Amino acid sequence: MILPPFQQLLDEHGASLHRFCVAQAGPVHGPDCFQETLLAALRAYPELRSTTNLRGWLFTIAHHKVLDHHRAVARRPVAALVGDGIGAGRSGAPVPEASPAAATDHELWSAVAALPGKQRGAVALRFLGDLPYADIAAALGCSEAAARQNVRAGLASLRTEVTR
């Protein structure tokens, strides 16, 4: 087994990992989750025993970093939550919206970020990670059927949320 140069993983999966983190943890904390993901991956990489699913491995790490972030947010006093989500810039001011398309994406991802944990993770792993259900199940620590159910339920709540 040959572990490819880590740069190859960055080239192939870096952009979608970044999108995955920013979509779920917001523009302020998403980049931190992304950085923590890369550091954790680099730490563990030399000991990795299989190269058959490097993308799934990276997204599983990213999923856990996003969960860590959401847990930390949940523990903080309520006041700290203001300006912490996706619709907030560094100072708590709304992020400037570049284009109508960006505004729509923004809305969509705010709705994703507001989903319950497992649904959020499942939807993001499915549509940002483009992972098969087996990998989503592995990342979420549930059965494949449960992973499908979470994606489905997530999409269903998004539909009511976005078209409301």
Partner 1 sequence: MTTDLDQLATALRGTAATDPADDLAAALARAEGEGLVDVAYGHTDSPVGRLLVAVTPAGLLRVGFEGEDEGTVLTDLAVRVSPRVVESARGTEAVRRQLDEYFAGRRDHFEVELDWRLSRGFRRTVLERLYADVPYGRTVSYLGLATLVGSPNASRAVGTAMATNPIPIVVPCHRVLRSGGQLGGYGGGLPAKQLLLALEAGDRLF
Among positions 28, 38, 67, 122, the unique one binding partner 1 when judged by CB under 8 A: 38
- Is there binding between residue 72 and partner 1 (CB under 8 A)? no
Residue count, binding to partner 1 (CB under 8 A): 45
Which of 81, 162 has the CB closer to partner 1? 162
Instruction: Identify which of 4, 5, 8, 15 has the alpha carbon closest to the alpha carbon of residue 37.
Output: 15
CB burial string 126-161: b at 16+ within 10 A, e below: bebbebbbebbbbbbebeeebbeebbebbeebbeee
Among positions 80, 81, 93, 102, the unique one binding partner 1 when judged by CB under 8 A: 102
The structure tokens 């203001």 sit at 82
- Is there binding between residue 142 and partner 1 (CB under 8 A)? no
- Is there binding between residue 100 and partner 1 (CB under 8 A)? no
- Is there binding between residue 57 and partner 1 (CB under 8 A)? no
- Is there binding between residue 7 and partner 1 (CB under 8 A)? yes
Give one DSSP letter per residue of 29-74, joined into a string. HHHHHHHHHHHHHHHHGGG----TTHHHHHHHHHHHHHHHHHHHHH
What residue type is 130 in one-letter code?
D
- Is there binding between residue 132 and partner 1 (CB under 8 A)? no
Residue 35 CB neighbour total at 10 angstroms:
13
- Please report, as ranges, the residues that interact with partner 1 according to CB under 8 A: 2-8, 10, 14-19, 22-23, 27, 30-31, 34-35, 38-39, 42-43, 45-46, 101-102, 104-105, 108-109, 112, 123, 127-128, 130, 152, 155-156, 158-159, 162-163
